[in-house]
Chain A
Amino acid sequence: MNSLRVLLAERDRATRELLHAFLLRAGHAVFVAASAREAIEAFRREGPDVVLLEAAMPDTGGTDAVRAMRDLSGSRWVPLIVLAAHTDEDEVGHGARTGADWTLTKPCSFAVLQARLDSVHSIVALRHELEHKNRALEAFEERARQEIRIARQTLRSFNRIEAAHAGILQHWIVPAIEFSGDTISAAHSPDGSFWLMLADNIGHGLSAALNAIPLTRAFRAVAAKGLNPASMVRELNRTARAQQPHERFVAATIARISGRDGIIEVWNGGNPEALLIDAEGAVADVFDSRHLPLGILSDDELDTHFKSTPLVPGLQLAVVSDGLLETGRARAFGQAGLYAALSAVPPGKRFGSVVSRLQEIISGLPNSDDVSFALVDCDAARALHAIETANAPRGAGLGRNAGGEPWRLSASFCEAQIRRLDLVPFIKVLIDQIDPPRMESQALFLVLSELITNAIDHGLLGMDSRLKQGADGYDAYLQERARRLEDLSGAELHIELERNAAPGEPLRIRISDSGGGFDHTRILREAPAGAEYPHGRGIALVRKVVRSLAYCDGGKTVEVCCERI
């Protein structure tokens, strides 16, 4: 039944009672008023669905009543039907002009009135539905806003660059939509290397940003373990493959800056070229995309080769995703724009120069892609290594056996394992579980790293550190090393670690290789004690942090005593 709540305002009693009876018979709820004032009061009190109002009313007058009711109902529309005397054209026109929705002339046929009320009913029904849907929509929007707020907080906190890296890395990300599918992450490894990853996850928005999380975690974990660059790429590629269907790949630029090795090395799969700029603003090197993006190839197919360049003073590394270069669309920022913004100003102002130039272009334009830019101060990154080694504890008198129980770890590796395993982190993880350090100390990693690397590189493979010198030296060294490692057979590397139970007992490390031995006295004599640690002379570094270091067996065995804090 099309029942409505009707407010009937009619001065003439006969008309009023006639209409009242008709409306009741038709099944409507009726509220009656005999004057404009009563009508307004009833309107306020009852909130009717429709008003039937006599045009000319005493008191405030019919037209004022219309206005008053409009005010009362506010944004909610209540149909107002004015009943005008047909003889009075003024009344008829007036009703329409002052805000009534329809005018019916008196005497009106009940059929006409009924038809009008029927159409009012469908309108009212529609209006109710609309209001209901609007309320539901508002509630949904509010919930969505809340969730977005929380998501943004969570992601921001997760992606935050830690304070230790703030002096090394400046970065800027502008998402296309609320959340960016581009991520910039920084980390450092126990040997003092600084790591950077700029990853461009396919797509935009929240789903892209969420997809980036496992990759960021893998990046941080691998760096913390001190795994080598090839392992980093392999692990990231596996993570990208595992979690997404492979048509959702990740373009990534991965950079490692090592003060210890004296190099900057970069792996770029699918991003625009990274630029290395010197203090004068000239391009020192360029790292273009040489690999497929992460997440596409299998382990065997993956190329983990990094391009390396010497780490000399005054360098900055600029890394970007393609959104940045394509900003501005028609007059795109481009490689040229990036280079111009970087080289035009001194090093300290370069970041600001690029950002403000981009902001000029972006303002007023909706972003079609995520834009991101990172600038690494290579001098500051290099200093990470110096800080680590300067803080390394030395000498006697410190160190207590934390666990209390004596322990001994002995392991032998043949060439197949040496090829396959990243031995230094492997051993370090074992030690950390047997005899956990009381506080953060990279000294042990440093010592293990130097001794094991020496045993493999010099002892078993017979590599000459001098090969590392020169522009492509590091690369050439790695390639020759890989070749010799491939050919190696019948080799053995023996690693022994132990700590006795008495308090103050140091950690003893003994490493033997089955190689030809070397003249260790010469190495120890030549090693400088200065702050510069060019590659190949790590033994000097080790000597600074351990209690004692001795070679025997013609150089094939080295024994070290060091504190375990």
Chain B
Amino acid sequence: MNISVMEIHGQARIALSGRFDFNSHRGFKRACEAPLGDTTVGEIVVDLGAVEYLDSSALGMLLNLREKTLALNKSVALANCRGVVADILGVANFGKLFAMR
């Protein structure tokens, strides 16, 4: 999975592409570290627009990220959820936990 991180005006955007599954654990964790540690970042947006597939461990990673952002008084949102990704997040009702953009 490819990950890119961008920061603009206090918002960090983590864009993922490819398969978001249990192999992505290390990379995702590393990518989140900087935005989480940066006090100027108030919101973290995870852009799933280029993600082909995600499994339950990916959902777990998103939950983990949410825990951390809440603890730091930051907000988190998911963006560009489409197709299979939107379906999976829908069945899991993640819209109740994450703002969807």
Q: A202-B56, A292-B97, A296-B97 are in contact. Are A247 and B92 (CB under 8 A)?
A: no
A246 touches B67 (CB 8 A): yes
For the complex formed, measure the closest distance between the CB of A406 and the CB atoms of chain B, giving whole angstroms: 54
Q: Do residues A292 and B92 form an inter-chain contact, with CB atoms below 8 A?
A: yes
User: A333 at the A/B interface (Cβ < 8 Å)?
Assistant: no
Which of A203, A246, A289 makes the CB contact (< 8 A) with B92? A289
A291 close to B93 (CB less than 8 A): yes
Q: Do A249 and B93 touch (CB < 8 A)?
A: no
A290 to B56, CA, bound (A): 17
- CB pair B63–A246 under 8 Å, yes or no, is yes
* Shortest beta-carbon distance from A80 to chain B in Å: 49
Can you add 15 more A-B contacts, CB < 8 Å, to A248-B60, A270-B93, A322-B91?
A202-B56, A203-B56, A246-B67, A247-B59, A247-B64, A249-B59, A249-B63, A251-B92, A269-B93, A288-B91, A289-B93, A291-B93, A292-B92, A292-B97, A296-B63
Q: A293 to B60, alpha carbons, bound, how many Å?
A: 11
What is the CA–CA distance of A291 and B95 in the complex, to the nearest angstrom?
Answer: 10
Main secondary structure of the interface of B (DSSP, over half): helix
**A48: Cβ under 8 A from any B Cβ:** no
Contact among A202, A203, A289 with B91 in the assembled complex (CB-CB below 8 Å): A289
Cα distance A322–B59 when bound, in Å?
15
Nearest CB on A from B92, distance (A) = 5
* Bound form: Cα–Cα A141–B59 in Å: 35
- Cα distance A292–B90 in the bound complex, in angstroms: 10
Binding site of A, secondary structure by majority: helix, strand, loop or mixed?
A: loop
The residue on A at minimum CB distance from B90 is A289
Q: Which of A236-293 contact B (CB under 8 A)?
A: 246-249, 251, 269-272, 288-293
Q: List residues of B (57-101) whose CB comes within 8 Å of A's CBs.
A: 57, 59-61, 63-64, 67, 91-94, 96-97
27 examples of A-B residue contacts, CB within 8 angstroms: A202-B56, A202-B60, A203-B57, A246-B67, A247-B57, A247-B63, A247-B64, A248-B60, A249-B63, A251-B56, A251-B92, A269-B93, A270-B91, A270-B92, A270-B93, A271-B91, A272-B91, A288-B91, A289-B91, A289-B92, A290-B93, A291-B93, A292-B93, A292-B94, A296-B63, A296-B97, A322-B91
Q: How many A-B residue pairs have CB under 8 A?
A: 41
Given known contacts A247-B63, A249-B63, A296-B63, is B93 in contact with A202 (CB within 8 Å)?
A: no
Please name all residues of chain B whose beta carbon is closer than 8 Å to the beta carbon of A249 when the two chains form the complex.
56, 59-60, 63
Which chain B residues in 1-20 approach chain A with CB under 8 Å? none
| Contact between chains at A247 and B61 (CB < 8 Å) | yes
Alpha-carbon distance between A203 and B55 when the two chains are bound, in angstroms: 10
Instruction: Pick from B57, B64, B94, B97: contact of A202, CB below 8 A.
Output: B57
Chain B residue at minimal CB-CB distance from A248: B60
Give the shortest distance, in Å, between A342 (CB) and chain B (any CB). 20
Question: What's the minimum C-beta distance from B37 to chain A, rounded to whole angstroms?
Answer: 20
Which chain B residue lies CB-closest to A246?
Answer: B63
**10 nearest A-B pairs in the assembled complex, by CB-CB distance:** A247-B60, A289-B91, A202-B56, A247-B63, A292-B93, A247-B64, A270-B92, A292-B96, A291-B93, A246-B63
List residues of chain B with CB within 8 A of the CB of A248.
60
How many Å lie between the Cα of A269 and that of B59 in the bound state? 14
Q: How many angstroms between the C-alpha atoms of A270 and B60 in the bound complex?
A: 13
Please measure, in the bound complex, the distance between the C-alpha atom of A269 and the C-alpha atom of B92, giving whole angstroms.
7
**A202-B56, A202-B57 known; A293 and B64 CB under 8 Å?**
no
Residues of A within 8 A of B59 (CB): 247, 249
| A270 contact set on B, CB distance < 8 A | 91-93
* CB proximity of B47 to chain A, nearest CB, Å: 20
Interface centre among B56, B59, B61, B96 (most CB of A within 10 A): B56
B66–chain A nearest beta-carbon distance, Å: 10
In chain A, what residue has the closest Cβ to B92? Answer: A270
Q: Which residue of B lies closest to A288 (CB)?
A: B91
Closest to B91 in A: A289
A251–B63 alpha-carbon span in the complex (Å): 14
Closest to B57 in A: A202
